[in-house]
């Protein structure tokens, strides 16, 4: 079975949602909706294929400095982005039989990474891989 990997760059310099944030529920809902909608619009603009049987998704964070970070702190951003991919029609639902979500990855820092303040986030979406 052949696999195809797509990269979707997100317009954030830092993860907009983290597990350690203590936001008011309304502020968190607003940010979650923004990440979800932004991911959906970017997926449509990138003309990602629709109605796939299964995809594997990973969130990557490229920080601009070497401070220690906890990868599982990025899971709320990954969840909202995966919901946006469902909204774009990539798969019918983000249940494990249709979408595998890998633990977020913190790439090596790049001080000169493009984007505001230097950091970047992107999704890798692989079609054809099944657990």
Q: Residues 88-123: pLDDT tens digits? A: 999 999 999 999 999 999 999 876 655 555 789 999
Centroid of chain to Cα 59: 4
CA distances from 94 to 5, 10, 17, 51, 57 (A): 18, 19, 19, 12, 10
Collect all residues with Cβ–Cβ distance below 8 Å to 29 and sequence separation of at least 6: none
> If one looks up domain 4-127 in CATH, what number appears?
3.30.1330
**Tens-place pLDDT, residues 12-69:** 989 999 999 999 999 999 999 999 999 999 999 999 999 999 999 999 999 988 889 9
Q: Give the predicted TM-score (pTM) of the model.
A: 0.91
Report which secondary-structure segment, H or E, holds 43: helix 25-45
Check residue 66 and give its pLDDT.
86
CA distances from 117 to 2, 6, 13, 63, 125 (A): 37, 25, 6, 9, 25
Alpha helices in 46-108 (DSSP H): 75-87
Structure tokens at 2: 């052949």
Cα separation, 23 vs 19, in Å, equals: 10
Can you count the helices (H) and strands (E) in the chain? 2, 5
């Amino acid at each position: 079975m052949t696999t195809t990997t797509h990269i979707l760059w997100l317009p954030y310099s830092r993860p907009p949602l983290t597990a350690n944030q203590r936001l008011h529920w309304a502020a968190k809902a607003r940010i979650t909706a923004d990440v979800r909608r932004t991911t959906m619009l970017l997926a449509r603009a990138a003309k990602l294929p629709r109605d796939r049987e299964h995809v594997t998704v990973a969130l990557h964070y490229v920080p601009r400095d070497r401070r220690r970070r906890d990868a599982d702190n990025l899971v709320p951003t990954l969840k909202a982005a995966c919901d946006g991919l469902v909204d774009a029609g990539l798969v019918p639902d983000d249940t494990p039989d249709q979408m595998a979500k890998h633990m977020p990855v913190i790439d090596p820092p790049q001080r000169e990474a493009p984007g505001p303040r230097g950091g970047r986030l992107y999704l890798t979406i692989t079609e054809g891989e099944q657990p």
